[in-house]
Structure formats: structure tokens, C-alpha cells
Amino acid sequence: MTLGYGVHLAADTKSEMPLAVILEPANVNEKKVAPTLLKKAIRRRRKRRVRHVVADSQYSSQAVREEVKRLDAKPVIPYPRNQAKGRRVLRVDRKFRSHGPPSLRRLYRKRSAIERVVSRLETYFGLRQLRTRGLRNVLSHVLLCLTALLANALSAIKQGLPHKIRSPIHFTKLTWRR
């Protein structure tokens, strides 16, 4: 959520690189954005097949689960307390602890990758310093932040340092003195 706008982001959990982004006003529900975001993200993954789609419980709906299955992937989305009562499904409690089948819990832990991507965008690439209004202007700002993140990753790969693609401060050459 950025100043009245929702940044909906899909990312690869292994590389922690963004795959697709959609910007909507904050009053648009995540469930309505999810099918378009999924199609955009999966269309970009031509070389490797998407096996699992991991999302938080805000995306929990039958329509989203069916869309994930239609795209030939397995949904790893926790059910809220009022859904799927009496079944052994993935759930997350108020203290953010996951409960349910061990295989789903293990996959759900990968959701933290998206939080790290968003944190990196906010902390190092200026997503937090939004100083503009209007959907088009905010989208331009978000896309510039994503471009900077991807340029940083590309620089790391071109310099033969693929393990540094997630390190935004490696290329700043700042020295800290006391």
C-alpha cells in the first residue's frame, strides 16, 4: 500500500525478482486484481513452468484458486477461519503462524520473498518516497523503482556476481567511517 494506491506484485521466490506488477487504487480488492496479475506473471515465465502460486489470505477465494489451477499450478493460499471449516487446509493465525499440512506450510514460508522484494523497493529504490498523485504518475514512479531494482540485478550478473543480484548497496561503493 503506497499513499492510497495498492501495488500488487508477483515475484519469483528463488531469485526474489519481480515478474509482474499492477497498480490500482487502494479501494480495489486484491481478489479482483489477482487473475490479471497471475496471467501477466505466468506469461513471463516461458522457460520454467510455475508449479506453485503462494499468496496471503487476502487472495483466498474460489475464483482465484480456480484461476491458479487453470494455469496448471497449485495454489498455496491460506483459508480464513470462516472458509473450508472442518477440512485440513492451510491456515494462518493472528500471530502469523501457519497451520495445516506440512508440505503446504513449507511452501507458504516462501511467501516472505515478496515481503523482502517490497522492503528492498521501499528502502533502497525509493518506493516509500512517493511525492506525486494520480494513477498514471504513481505507476511511473513504481515502474522506475522496479527498473532500478532490475538494473541493479543486471549489473551484478554482467559483472559475474550473480550472488549479488539482491544486494542494492554492493554497487554504491560507499564507505562508512566512524
Please give the Cα distance from 27 to 13 (Å, whole number). 27
pLDDT, tens digit, 9 for 90 and up, residues 5-37: 889 999 998 899 999 999 999 899 888 999 999
Domain boundaries along the sequence of the chain: 5-164
CA 132 to chain centre: 23
Q: How large is the average pLDDT for residues 167-178? A: 66
Dihedrals φ, ψ of 21, to 5°?
Answer: -140, 145
Q: Give the global pTM.
A: 0.82
User: Which one is the CATH code of 5-164: 1.10.3470, 1.20.120, 3.30.70, 3.30.420?
Assistant: 3.30.420
HEC string of the chain equals: CECCEEEEEEECCCCCCEEEEEEEECCCCHHHHHHHHHHHHHHHCCCCCCCEEECCHHHCCHHHHHHHHHCCCEEECCCCCCCCCCCCCCEECCCCCEECCHHHHHHHHHHHHHHHHHHHHHHHCCCCCCCCCCHHHHHHHHHHHHHHHHHHHHHHHHCCCHHHCCCCCCCCCCCCCC
Of all residues in the chain, the percent with pLDDT exceeding 90 is 43
pLDDT in tens, 66-117: 989 988 889 999 998 888 777 889 988 888 888 999 999 999 999 999 999 9
